[in-house]
């Protein structure tokens, strides 16, 4: 990096910090100090702020580094996580958000208490805190520090890690309103820097292959040089398939994943996740819906920014033009950034930093919200005032980031070895089937009982572990439920998205079976009003446009 790169980055930092302070100062002037304003920005986020904040909080190091790495290894098939998310957001905007808002739900544990009972709520509050701190915070912090240190020097890994943490904490102290509106700048920097990066990457590819600086020619070269990287659906490996292809299929098991874990991953993440839904829970229904659909439209663009650089890195590396690639597939994005000219490199690092800091700040706010509302106020200090709740939330957020730094300092969790994106998806997948089953049946089946919810949570977790670690030894490599493939380490694995699908299926069966022994209508069931689900013409138009674009993408790259 040159002085101009540092200047560009500094301008970004000053812009975000100044705007965040202005938003915070304006809030103070308005004498709005309620805890709900700090945790939810209640009623103050516009639809475009909600949509931008959803994307800024979602797109982080695991996408820039992890998904780009999977693009290097597999290709555009990994974009399913982003493009199916656009459909998941449509489903959530139509059917999930109205239920949350009508019942004044502010946290996911609160939903579980309202719909089921206190025990389910407490269990999941603790579960989510552990998941957010020890899987999400740690992986975002570690991957982000690895990516940036790869450009400024590996000896700066730990200072960068601390710097990212401090920046995120500063934004978090201002509450959800500051996070939401600074995320508008963050996502603008993210998109501008991301598109600038992929444009330069494509021109670099075209110039290395003697086609001049032509981004379109660069994209055509990618398709010619790596045709196997431009298929959305991977075919099932033949008996004589090489291990590398089998490893790809284990990550993204073809059409089967669209009938299994892919939907659970997306609907659970976008619809049953405090970290995400929190942005919309303080708004009115139409604002929340429009914001979520806007996020779904932006989701269609994200694979271009976070996945194509990985394919470009693959083509350059395969042809000997990327000797600086190190750190395996997760080093692909940093290697591409090293090609960028002075100034643009600073902008690209600013975009990467924006994604990391926005995600860290959003995650910290969600952690503090769950701890304050669902543990501290309920079980430690029931009479705490609103100002004290805000400060307790801030203090717990600080403790959470300190714990994340401790666990990422020497990568105690092995994030680097698993591959960042896979690490998050796989380990989140251990609880996703049970959690999503609790939510979906709680939303739409009035008979679901609290006992069934507890049983579902336990069943989903146990089945996820069983299918991932023991099913092959018990039932063999080939059954009517699954096909296990060699993992290259002397054993056999079932694709983890298939594991999630079956774990969810059997969990739902257990919950339904138990609930049939209860009353026909659970007293705590939500009363649904069909008017909640009616859509305005503008909303329908947004949905149709998103689905048409998505259909065209799959038709082209199937």
pLDDT confidence of residue 65: 74
Q: What is the mean pLDDT of the chain?
A: 84
What does the pLDDT average to over 403-418? 75
Residue 279 sits at the vertex; the CA angle it makes with 113 and 372, to the nearest 5 degrees, is: 45
Q: Looking at the predicted structure, is the pLDDT value of residue 267 above 90?
A: yes
Q: Are 131 and 431 in contact (CB under 8 A)?
A: yes
- Predicted model pTM: 0.84
Residue-wise pLDDT tens digits, 284-318: 899 999 999 999 999 998 888 888 988 998 898 88
Distances (CA, A) of 347 to 265, 306, 352: 32, 15, 9
Q: Does an H or E element contain 393, and which?
A: helix 386-408
For the segment 519-538, the average pLDDT, to the nearest whole number, is 88
Closest CA to 137 of 148, 126, 145: 145
Q: Is 269 left (phi over 0), alpha (psi -120 to 50) or beta?
A: alpha
Which of 64-68, 133-137, 438-442 has the weakest average pLDDT?
64-68
**Percentage of residues of the chain with pLDDT beyond 70:** 91
Q: Which residue has the higher pLDDT, 62 or 47?
A: 47
Distance CA 456, CA 434 (A): 5
CA–CA gap between residue 212 and residue 215 (Å, rounded) = 9
pLDDT of residue 32: 45
Which of 54-63, 434-443, 458-467 bottoms out in mean pLDDT, i.e. has the lowest? Answer: 54-63
Closest CA to 482 of 467, 465, 504: 467
Mean pLDDT of 386-396: 85
8 Å CB contact between 107 and 368: no
- Give the lowest-confidence range in 61-75, 153-167, 198-212: 61-75
Tell me the domains of the chain and their CATH numbers.
Answer: 3-428+528-557 (1.20.1730.10)
Window from 152-156, 248-252, 282-286, 390-394 with minimum mean pLDDT: 152-156
Lowest mean pLDDT among 138-152, 364-378, 478-492, 535-549: 138-152
Query: pLDDT at residue 28 above 60?
Result: no
Residue 423 backbone zone (phi > 0: left; psi -120 to 50: alpha; other: beta): alpha
Contact 332, 68 (CB under 8 A): yes
Q: Which residues touch 456 (CB under 8 Å, ≥6 apart)?
A: 434, 437, 438, 441, 507, 508, 510, 511
How high is the pLDDT of residue 94? 93
pLDDT of residue 36: 58
pLDDT of residue 42: 54
pLDDT tens for residues 492-514? 999 988 999 999 999 999 999 99
Alpha helix ranges (H) inside 209-280: 215-225, 243-251, 261-271, 274-277
Is the pLDDT at 54 greater than 90, yes or no? no
Highest mean pLDDT among 303-307, 382-386, 421-425, 426-430: 303-307
Q: Do 495 and 470 touch, CB atoms closer than 8 A?
A: no
How is residue 175 written in tokens?
């509450």
CA distance 348 to 357: 14
Phi, psi of 495 (to 5 degrees): -50, 130
516 contacts: CB under 8 Å, gap ≥ 6: 447
């Amino acid at each position: 990096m040159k002085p101009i790169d540092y200047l560009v980055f500094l301008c970004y930092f000053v812009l975000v910090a100044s705007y965040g302070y202005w938003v915070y100062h304006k809030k103070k002037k308005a004498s709005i100090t309620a805890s709900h304003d700090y945790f939810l920005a209640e009623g103050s986020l516009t639809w475009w702020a909600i949509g931008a904040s959803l994307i800024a909080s979602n797109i982080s190091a695991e996408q820039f580094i992890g998904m780009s790495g999977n693009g290097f290894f597999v290709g555009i098939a990994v974009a399913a996580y982003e493009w199916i998310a656009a459909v998941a957001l449509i489903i959530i905007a139509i059917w999930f958000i109205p239920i949350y808002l009508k019942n004044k739900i502010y946290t996911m544990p609160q939903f579980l208490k309202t719909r089921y009972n206190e025990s389910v709520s407490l269990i999941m509050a603790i579960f989510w805190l552990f998941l957010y701190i020890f899987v999400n915070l740690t992986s975002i912090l570690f991957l982000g520090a690895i990516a940036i240190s790869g450009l400024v020097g590996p000896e700066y890994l730990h200072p960068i890690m601390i710097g990212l943490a401090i920046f995120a904490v500063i934004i978090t102290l201002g509450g959800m309103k500051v996070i939401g509106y600074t995320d508008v700048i963050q996502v603008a920097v993210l998109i501008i820097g991301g598109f600038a990066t992929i444009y330069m990457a494509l021109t670099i590819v075209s110039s290395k292959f003697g086609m001049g600086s032509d981004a379109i020619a660069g994209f055509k070269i990618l398709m010619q040089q790596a045709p196997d990287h431009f298929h959305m659906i991977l075919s099932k490996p033949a008996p004589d398939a090489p291990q590398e292809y089998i490893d790809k299929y284990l990550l993204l098991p073809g059409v089967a994943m669209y009938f299994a874990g892919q939907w659970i991953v997306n609907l659970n993440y976008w619809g049953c996740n405090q970290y995400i839904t929190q942005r919309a829970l303080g708004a009115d229904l139409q604002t929340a819906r429009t914001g979520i659909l806007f996020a779904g439209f932006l989701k269609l663009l994200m694979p271009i920014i976070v996945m194509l650089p990985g394919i470009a890195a693959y083509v350059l590396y395969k042809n000997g033009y990327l000797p600086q690639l190190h750190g395996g597939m997760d080093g692909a994005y940093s290697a591409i950034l090293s090609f960028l000219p002075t100034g643009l490199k600073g902008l690209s690092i600013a975009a990467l930093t924006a994604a990391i800091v926005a995600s860290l700040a959003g995650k910290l706010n969600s952690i503090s919200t769950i701890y304050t509302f669902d543990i501290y106020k309920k079980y430690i200090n029931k009479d705490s005032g609103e100002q004290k709740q805000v400060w307790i939330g801030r203090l717990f957020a600080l403790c959470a980031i300190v714990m994340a730094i401790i666990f990422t300092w020497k990568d105690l969790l092995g994030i680097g070895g698993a591959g960042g994106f896979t690490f998050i998806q796989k380990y989140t997948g251990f609880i996703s089937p049970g959690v999503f089953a609790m939510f979906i049946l709680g939303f739409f089946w009035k008979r679901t009982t609290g006992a069934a919810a507890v049983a579902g949570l336990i069943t989903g977790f146990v089945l996820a572990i069983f299918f991932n670690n023991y099913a092959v030894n018990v039932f063999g490599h080939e059954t009517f439920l699954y096909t296990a493939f060699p993992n290259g380490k002397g054993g056999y694995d079932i694709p983890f998205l298939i594991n999630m699908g079956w774990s969810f299926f059997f969990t739902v069966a257990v919950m339904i079976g138990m609930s049939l022994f209860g009353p026909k209508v659970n007293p705590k069931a939500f009363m649904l009003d069909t008017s909640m689900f009616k859509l305005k013409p503008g909303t329908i138009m947004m949905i149709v446009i998103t689905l048409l674009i998505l259909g065209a993408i799959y038709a082209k790259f199937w």
